[in-house]
């Protein structure tokens, strides 16, 4: 069993954890976005509230969501640990910093970006998840399920009447975009996947994802603020 | 040409060290190191302590020279060591800042000289083939794919200078170690001990206290031999594979 500990505490082992948890979190973001785009349906919340009920009551989804919490915490804890270890390894810095045009700003600021994402996650969970779980959020009847469900839709809709919150959410998405701009392709390099044949494709897909996912999320507060529905 | 140099001066590994300013008259045909030689002769004639800097072959093959010039290891020119950098890259009146490699694992010995013995210990951990090679083989006795031979050769051009560590914001030695793992891994002679070697070299790299790779790519950009990040990916997959298939 010693070998597992040795592996997971080696430099490459730690990075492997970052890579796998990071890719899992991206997968989560895609599912989360697909579900949340139902917030843009003009049906008084029927589709979204029913979906939210399903997501909070299905045992399999519940199990995956605990895994998700665990992976976010693991990714954040190891990410911050790596940051401090790397600072220690660098020791002192240069009096003049030279320009290597080939390196991206994102790649050198992953820990800062990640910490901001973590702060955003706390704000976000406090706004919706906490209020749904522990606040007294009113119920509405779900037409398709025939049972009362939490009216998360109205909570989201009213929350995004506040321009300050909308701006915080938009900043959060910009931060996420920068994290993914480097993160997606980096995760494959960490896994040892790099070849002139497919690496340019991974890098391209990474940049598209880094724009599309945050853009999709950004639509929700923006359109709710403007009272525009898409479907 | 008249130049202003700001050079890192540090008495020994314990001293604090600071940048000091010098004026030097250089010729555009001089190499950067020859320019420093001129400055040192000047300092000696003034009975001052000359600037210590590491150098040996001065033809870009030994990996001894190691200066960070205006924030860039080996200076502004792509794919060259600092001994191969010439003063024609600068113009009259320029101010040039010269610093040593920065890494907690490469402590400054004096001025611009750092102790890079950590690299030697990574090689000692397994960067070799431990069989008796005997007589030189007949050229085609062991077939090697042309592509593999070329890639192995590219990796083998690493001169162990440490610019990758100096350039990396994390002080990671992954590019060096990956080059040394790769040039053997790609050839049949290196296959036998490949897994053991990768594990041992990575373990030593970690033990020395180098940072972890964030895939930033500053190493590849500054490496005088243009060693590719593909080598790091190869080492990652070799290491992960080796951990699960050996005891
Ligand atoms: C939605 C959330 C997140 C996603 C999708 C995500 C995704 C990723 C991915 C794919 C990587 C690349 C892994 C690699 O280089 O192998 C990465 C790296 C990183 N992440 Fe995140 N991340 C998220 C949240 C966070 C949070 C909350 C932190 C907290 C501090 C964080 C800190 C880091 C750090 C420091 C790295 C760089 C590790 C390194 O290469 O040294 N991330 N992230
Ligand atoms: S990989 Fe490049 S920068 Fe690093 S030691 Fe080898 S030659 Fe020098
Ligand atoms: S002195 Fe040998 S490579 Fe520069």
Share above pLDDT 70 across residues of chain A, in percent, rounded to a whole number = 99
Q: Which atom of ligand 2 is nearest to the CA of B166?
A: 3
Question: Residue A144: what pLDDT?
Answer: 84
Out of B155, B160, B178, mutate this one to test ligand 2's pocket (max ligand atoms within 8 Å of CB): namely B160
Integer Cα distance of B31 and A162 in angstroms: 63
CB atoms within 10 A of CB A138: 9
Strands (E), chain A: 139-141, 148-150
Give domain limits for chain B: 2-110, 117-244
pLDDT band at A136; cut points 50, 70, 90: confident
Residues of chain A with C-beta less than 8 angstroms from the C-beta of B99 = 94-96
- The yes-or-no verdict on residue A100 having pLDDT over 80 is no
Tell me the average pLDDT across B62-89. 96
Q: Backbone phi, then psi, for A44, in 5-degree steps?
A: 70, 10
Question: Residue A33: what pLDDT?
Answer: 97
- The residue whose CA has the least distance to atom 3 of ligand 3 is B60
Q: B83: Cβ below 6 Å to ligand 3? A: yes
Give domain limits for chain A: 2-225
Q: A25: Cβ below 6 Å to ligand 1? A: yes
The C-alpha of B206 sits at a distance from chain A's nearest C-alpha, in angstroms, of 6
Determine which of A109-118, A127-136, B65-74 has the lowest per-residue pLDDT on average: A127-136
Write out pLDDT tens, residues B204-226: 999 999 999 999 999 999 999 99
Among residues A124, A118, A121, A117, which one has the least CA distance to residue A156? Answer: A124
- The yes-or-no verdict on residue A134 having pLDDT over 90 is no
Does A195 sit within 8 Å of B171, measured CB to CB? Answer: no
- The yes-or-no verdict on residue A101 having pLDDT over 80 is no
What does the mean pLDDT of chain B come to? 95
Q: B81: Cβ below 6 Å to ligand 3? A: yes
> What distances in angstroms separate CA A78 from CA A16, B70, B116, one per listed residue?
11, 33, 28
Determine which of A130-134, A155-159, B159-163, B182-186 has the lowest per-residue pLDDT on average: A130-134
Query: Could you tell me which residues of chain A have a Cβ less than 8 Å from any Cβ in chain B?
Result: 3, 7, 10-16, 82, 85-86, 88-104, 107-108, 110, 182, 185-186, 189-196
Q: Identify the burial level of A112 via C-beta atoms within 10 angstroms of its C-beta, where 0-12 means exposed, 13-18 middle and 19 or more buried.
A: middle
Question: Residue B131: what pLDDT?
Answer: 80
Q: Which atom of ligand 1 is nearest to the CA of A25?
A: 5
Using DSSP's 3-state secondary structure scheme, residue B220 falls into helix
What does the mean pLDDT of chain A come to? 93
The C-alpha of B138 sits at a distance from chain A's nearest C-alpha, in angstroms, of 32
Question: Residue B92: what pLDDT?
Answer: 96
Q: Strand pairing partners for A73?
A: none
Q: B110: Cβ below 6 Å to ligand 2? A: no
Integer Cα distance of B99 and B113 in angstroms: 9
Q: pTM (2 decimals)?
A: 0.94
pLDDT band at A59; cut points 50, 70, 90: very high
Integer Cα distance of B51 and B39 in angstroms: 8
- The yes-or-no verdict on residue B102 having pLDDT over 80 is yes
Q: B73: Cβ below 6 Å to ligand 2? A: no
Question: Residue B133: what pLDDT?
Answer: 72
Question: Residue A228: what pLDDT?
Answer: 85
Tell me the average pLDDT across A158-179. 96
Among residues A226, A221, A228, which one has the least CA distance to residue A120? Answer: A221
Out of A16, A22, A23, mutate this one to test ligand 1's pocket (max ligand atoms within 8 Å of CB): namely A22
Integer Cα distance of B148 and B165 in angstroms: 26
Residue B100: its H or E element: none
Residues 6+ apart with CB under 8 A from B138: none
- The yes-or-no verdict on residue A25 having pLDDT over 90 is yes
Out of A79, A121, A176, A182, mutate this one to test ligand 1's pocket (max ligand atoms within 8 Å of CB): namely A79
Question: Residue B246: what pLDDT?
Answer: 86
Write out pLDDT tens, residues B23-59: 999 999 999 999 999 999 999 999 999 999 999 999 9
Of residues B189 and A166, the one with the higher pLDDT is A166
The CATH number for B117-244, chosen from 1.10.520.10, 1.10.10.10, 3.40.50.1220, 1.10.1060.10, is 1.10.1060.10
Question: Residue B28: what pLDDT?
Answer: 94
Q: What is the ipTM of this complex?
A: 0.92
Integer Cα distance of A191 and A168 in angstroms: 33
The CATH number for A2-225, chosen from 3.90.1170.50, 1.20.1300.10, 3.60.15.10, 3.40.50.2000, is 1.20.1300.10
> What distances in angstroms separate CA B111 from CA A98, B7, B12, B107, B237, one per listed residue?
20, 8, 8, 11, 39
What fold is seen in the domain B2-110? Answer: Ubiquitin-like (UB roll) (3.10.20)
Does B239 sit within 8 Å of A86, measured CB to CB? Answer: no
Tell me the average pLDDT across A188-200. 96
Tell me the average pLDDT across A21-44. 95
How many residue pairs from chains A and B have C-beta atoms closer than 8 A?
142
- If phi > 0 it is left, if psi is from -120 to 50 it is alpha, else beta; for residue A144 that is alpha
Does A92 sit within 8 Å of B216, measured CB to CB? Answer: no
């Amino acid at each position: 069993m010693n070998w597992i500990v040795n592996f997971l505490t080696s430099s490459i082992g730690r990075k492997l954890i970052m890579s796998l948890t990071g890719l899992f979190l991206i997968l989560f973001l895609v599912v989360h976005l697909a579900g949340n785009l139902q917030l843009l349906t003009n049906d008084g919340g029927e589709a979204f509230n029913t979906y939210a009920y399903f997501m909070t009551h299905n045992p399999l989804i519940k199990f995956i969501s605990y895994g998700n919490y665990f992976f976010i915490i693991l990714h954040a804890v190891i990410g911050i640990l790596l940051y401090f270890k790397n600072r220690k390894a660098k020791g002192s810095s240069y009096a003049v910093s030279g320009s290597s045009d080939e390196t991206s700003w994102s790649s050198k600021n992953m820990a800062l970006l990640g910490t901001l994402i973590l702060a955003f996650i706390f704000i976000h969970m406090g706004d919706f998840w906490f209020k749904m779980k522990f606040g007294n959020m009113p119920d509405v009847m779900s037409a398709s399920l025939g049972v009362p469900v939490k009216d998360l839709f109205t909570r989201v809709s009213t929350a995004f009447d506040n321009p300050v919150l909308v701006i915080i959410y938009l900043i959060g998405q910009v931060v996420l975009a920068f994290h993914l701009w480097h993160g997606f392709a980096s995760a494959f390099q960490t896994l040892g996947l790099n070849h002139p044949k497919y690496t340019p494709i991974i890098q391209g897909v990474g940049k598209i994802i880094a724009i599309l996912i945050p853009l999709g999320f950004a639509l929700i507060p923006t359109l709710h603020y403007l009272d525009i529905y898409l479907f | 040409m008249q130049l202003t140099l700001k050079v890192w001066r540090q008495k020994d590994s314990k001293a604090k060290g600071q940048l000091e300013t010098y004026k030097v008259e250089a010729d555009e045909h001089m190499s950067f190191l020859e320019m420093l030689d001129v400055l040192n002769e000047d300092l000696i004639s003034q009975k001052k302590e000359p600037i210590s800097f590491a150098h040996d072959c001065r033809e870009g093959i030994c990996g001894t020279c190691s200066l960070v010039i205006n924030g860039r290891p080996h200076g502004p020119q792509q794919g060259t060591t600092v001994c191969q950098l010439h003063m024609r890259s600068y113009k009259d009146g320029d101010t040039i800042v010269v610093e040593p490699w920065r890494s907690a694992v490469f402590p400054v010995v004096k001025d611009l000289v750092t102790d890079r013995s950590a690299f030697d210990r990574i090689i000692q951990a397994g960067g070799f083939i431990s069989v008796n090679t005997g007589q030189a083989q007949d050229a085609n006795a062991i077939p090697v794919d042309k592509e593999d031979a070329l890639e192995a050769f590219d990796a083998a051009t690493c001169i162990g200078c440490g610019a990758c560590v100096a350039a990396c914001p994390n002080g990671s030695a992954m590019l060096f170690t990956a080059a040394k793992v790769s040039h053997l891994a790609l050839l049949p002679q290196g296959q036998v001990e490949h897994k053991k070697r990768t594990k041992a070299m990575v373990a030593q790299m970690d033990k020395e206290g180098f940072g972890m790779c964030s895939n930033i790519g500053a190493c590849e950009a500054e490496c005088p031999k243009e060693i590719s990040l593909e080598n790091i990916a190869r080492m990652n997959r070799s290491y992960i594979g080796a951990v699960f298939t050996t005891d």
